[in-house]
A and B are shown apart, each in its own frame.
Chain A
Amino acid sequence: MATGELTPAVHEHHTSTGLDNTKMAMWAFLGSECLFFGSFISTYLLYRNQTADGPTSADLYDIPYTSVSSFVLLMSSLTMVLALAACHRKDQRGMRAWLLATALLGMVFIGGQIYEFTEFAHEGLALSVSPFGSSFFVLTGFHGAHVTVGILMLLLLVGMSMFDRLGPDDSRKVELIGLYWHFVDIVWIIIFTVVYLIPS
């Protein structure tokens, strides 16, 4: 009777599909996130014109401004790719630099969101004003929360690398965060298109 391959719990193991466990888990999780954001986007689409007595999207949206912040977020995906490339070629310092750049660009994006939301609030838009207000803020707010979590994870990666907890063979973790980051970016592209660009 032959002995089977032992299967320890995490890395360095054979998997039935050949795909790493944590990577498969991330893909599955991102699949569920598609429905999460899809449901909020559907809610927004339903309510984009229910502005009650409050401001409308035409009153508020500053497309050039939001285009710039969208561009910033897009660039952060580029820096993320560069970080992973650095990791693959075992360039720890380069990886840290690009990861930091990604986090920074993410922070600029969040800063831009906060500024934009404060402006809208001054113009009279709030959760409590109209279904449009509710769905706009909750959709973009949750997206911002996801970006923030991503920033925290990026900074954690940088920290781990600095304290030698992220080995040169550990591109897997960087790849995982990269997957998440790109997903959050794609969601933003959809939100930007559906919410800002397509007129109500």
Chain B
Amino acid sequence: MATAAAQGGLFRRPTATTGWWSWVTTVDHKKIGILYCATALAFFVIGGIEALAIRTQLAVPNGTTLTAETYNQFFTMHGLTMIFLVVMPLGVGIMNYLAPLMIGARDVAFPRINAFSYWVFLLGGLFLYSSFFLGGAPDGGWFGYAPLSTQLPGNGMTFYALGLQILGVASLLGAVNFIVTILNMRAPGMTLMRMPVFIWMTLVTAFLLLFAMPVIAVALFELMFDRVYNANFFNPATGGDPVLWQHLFWLFGHPEVYIMILPAMGIISDVLPTFSRKPIFGYAAIVFAGIAIGFMGWGVWAHHMFAVGLGPVANSAFALSTMFIAVPTGVKIFNWLGTMWKGDLHFNTPMLFAIGFVSMFIIGGLSGVTHAIVPSDAQQTDTYYIVAHFHYVLFGGAIFGLFSGLYYWWPKVFGKLLSEGLGKVHFWLMFIGFNLAFGPMHILGLEGMPRRTYTYPDGMGWNLWNLVATVGAFIIAVSIAVFLVNAVRTKRKGREAGADPWDGRTLEWSTPSPAPAYNFAEVPIVKARDDFWHRKYVVKPDEQVTPVVAGGAVAAHEDEHDPGHGIHLPAPSFLPVLAAPGLPIMAYGVIYSWPLIVVGGLLLLLALFGWVLEPSEVEH
């Protein structure tokens, strides 16, 4: 019976399934996914405001909107926000909601750790932003090169070191969770090669996180020790080497960019087939290309260091490895094109964003290859040409892909379809604004404008394109506003979606919308890749696609009250949200007063103690 297990814990386990307390104590991957995405979108707006401030300052030469001090904080926080508080958590949020559904599972392997990861992420982001009110935000760039980062006065860069550590804990635990979930909790018949491409990309991303996060953790600890405890890791006066920071940072940093792009690549690999009405072109090749990128991504890090003076042999080696990672990337692009080829293309909003991804990523990928040409990179590096490149792949690529996913799965999550009309306005405004903002930056960089400069003088030939870029940035802002309006209006009076509004191919569309707490009334038995689609359609020998006769397709049950025999669901718990603050409290302790470290540590320890003793399931 239900309560026997609940009595065993130190405190009774919460049982709420609605209301705000249910969100605080949830261990349901779906609620956690929504929390991640909502929080990430909030940070997106904040990071966007930082970008607008930057662009306003740079719209004209000798701008006076921001002082140098403020500018340096803004560009640092813009980068940190967009990378760690937007793109990564949006990917994780979508992965959270969808992964168990796509593999036919009821939840992830470790639901409480999943919740803990979210709360640590939220508190880590808040910790980082609290720096604005506590003497100044980090101002040494998101890349924090030592020895500048070890000696910038104030607490800003210490917030940087500690904040990223906290966020890293969330990412690492999430990685372990997804690896175990995907490898171990697939529905019967769901072999690895029958998994949706999105799940494969999630798996590769999780492995990249698993091995990359510890490296930056080490770098950040060394930075923290230098700043707070006078260590000498990066102190050239005693023999410390600033290049060590760069090696550690980029050993993390390069896999990090694949961590950011692979989920989006996975998303569009599922969106494109749905709206082209045909299967993904070259499934195995796309999967293996993703795995190849995961491996090869570890061998290119020093292409961020071509001007450091590593020597011609090292530079040549990394030039070659960087060029060759373009091959599996190209394979994916060609396969996406092949997916659309001879398809029956429907240009709903998710499809528009997916196509936008492909188009913008071609540009970003090509500019990336040009960076591999080392002598040319000596001109390109640290200029706006690089800024253009990474915004093309991270905004034109990752963000577009993530929005494709949001529009695509919104009906599954909320049961309502986002407005197509507003969605298209969002897409076109964003597409135009984005290209206006970042296209000209290629030219600015080649014409000699360096990065991370709070102002530039008149007479350099940069005025026109800076102004154009600023206009583009504001157009992007308007497009985001359109999206937010769409989201709010849909909540109030959106169209009911039903289980399968897009005539999808993968398992998540076989559940009602919104997906019920238990995901599947009965765990599916998977017989093929795109199993759900094959239950709906049969492909005749002459390539004619015909719907299966009624009774064959899985009808999504709207009835939640009778899910069949007792389904074991992981019970809610407040221990993740109790344990999570321990980390930022310890971090504040490092900055302000060491007893806080003990307080935070004890909180964490005691909460973990309660967590271990709490039974993990209660009968539903």
- Chain A interface residues (CB < 8 Å from chain B): 1-10, 15-17, 19, 21, 24-25, 28-29, 31-33, 35-36, 39-40, 43, 46-47, 50-52, 127-135, 138, 142, 152, 156, 160, 165
Query: Which residues of B from 133 to 176 have beta carbons under 8 Å from A?
Result: 172, 175-176
Contacting A19 at CB < 8 Å: which of B184, B190, B520, B554?
Answer: B184
Tell me which residues across on chain A come within 8 A of B222, comparing CB atoms: 43, 134, 138
Judged by a CB distance under 8 angstroms, whether B18 is at the interface is: no
B212, B238, B244, B616: the one contacting A10 at CB < 8 Å is: B616
Q: How far apart are the CA atoms of A134 and B223 in the complex, in Å?
A: 11
5 contacts between A and B (CB under 8 A): A4-B522, A33-B214, A35-B211, A36-B214, A131-B240
User: Which A residues are CB-close (under 8 A) to B24?
Assistant: none
Q: Which of A5, A43, A47 has the most CB of B within 10 A?
A: A43
The 5 closest A-B pairs by CB, nearest first: A4-B523, A50-B239, A8-B568, A36-B214, A39-B218
Which of the residues A24, A142, A156 comes within 8 Å of B180, measured between beta carbons? Answer: A24
B68 to chain A: closest CB distance in Å? 31
- B interface bracket (residues with beta carbon within 8 Å of A): 35 or more
State A9–B218 Cα separation when bound (angstroms). 33
Cross-chain contact of A165 among B106, B175, B221, B613 (Cβ < 8 A): B613
CA distance A6 to B568 in the complex (A): 8
A35 touches B238 (CB 8 A): no
Which of A32, A40, A129 counts the most B-chain CB atoms under 10 A from its CB?
A32
A121–B133 CA distance with the chains assembled, in angstroms: 38
Report whether A9 and B568 are in contact in the complex, using a CB–CB cutoff of 8 Å. yes
Q: Do B180 and A25 have beta carbons less than 8 Å apart?
A: yes
A32 CA / B241 CA spacing, docked (Å) = 25
Which residue of chain B is the closest to A53 with respect to CB atoms?
Answer: B238
Distance of A161 Cα from B214 Cα, bound (Å): 33
Is B187 positioned at the interface, with any CB of A under 8 Å from its CB? yes
When C-beta atoms are compared, the residue in chain A nearest to B216 turns out to be A39
**Is B308 at the interface (CB under 8 A from chain A)?**
no
Task: Judge if B305 is at the interface, Cβ distance under 8 Å.
Answer: no
Interface presence of B42 (CB below 8 A): no
B residues 62-116 in Cβ contact with A at 8 Å: 104-107, 109-111
Is B225 an interface position by the 8 A CB rule? yes
B109 to A, closest residue via Cβ: A21
Selected from A19, A28, A128, the residue in CB contact (under 8 A) with B176 is: A28
Q: B20 near A: Cβ within 8 Å?
A: no
B interface with A by C-beta (< 8 Å): 104-107, 109-111, 172, 175-177, 179-180, 183-188, 190, 210-215, 217-219, 221-222, 225-226, 229-233, 235, 238-241, 244, 248, 251, 520, 522-525, 554, 565, 567-570, 605, 609, 612-613, 616-617
The reply to whether B179 and A128 form a contact with Cβ atoms under 8 Å apart is no
Asked if residues A4 and B188 are in contact (CB atoms below 8 Å), the reply is: yes
Complex alpha-carbon distance, A1 and B553, angstroms: 10
Chain B contacts of A127 at CB under 8 A? 225, 229-232
Residues of A within 8 A of B565 (CB): 6
Give me 20 other A-B pairs in contact (C-beta within 8 A), A28-B175, A131-B235 excluded: A4-B188, A5-B523, A9-B107, A9-B111, A9-B616, A21-B109, A21-B180, A24-B184, A25-B177, A25-B179, A28-B176, A35-B215, A36-B214, A39-B214, A43-B244, A52-B232, A129-B238, A131-B240, A133-B232, A134-B231
Q: Which residues of A contact B244 (CB under 8 A)?
A: 43, 46
Q: Tell me how far the C-beta of B101 lies from the nearest C-beta in chain A, rounded to whole angstroms.
A: 13
Name which residue of chain B comes closest to A128, CB basis: B230
Residues of A within 8 A of B617 (CB): 8-10
B214:A4 contact, CB within 8 angstroms = no
Identify the closest chain A residue to B524 (Cβ). A4
Complex Cα–Cα for A7 and B519 (A): 12
Chain A residues in 8 Å Cβ range of B240: 47, 50, 131, 134
Contacts of A152 in B (CB 8 A): 605
Closest CB in chain A relative to B169 CB, distance in Å: 11
B residues within 8 A CB of A8?
568, 617
Given contacts A9-B111, A52-B238, A138-B231, contact A24 B185 (CB under 8 A): no
Instruction: Write the nearest CB–CB distance from B299 to chain A, whole angstroms.
Output: 15
Whether B183 contacts A16 by the Cβ 8 Å rule is yes
A128-B525 in contact (CB<8A): no
Q: A10-B617, A28-B180, A128-B232 are in contact. Are A21 and B104 (CB under 8 A)?
A: no
- Min Cβ gap A9→B in Å is 4
- Smallest beta-carbon distance A51→chain B, Å: 8
Cα-based distance from A133 to B568 in the complex (angstroms): 53
CB distance A156 to B230 under 8 Å? no
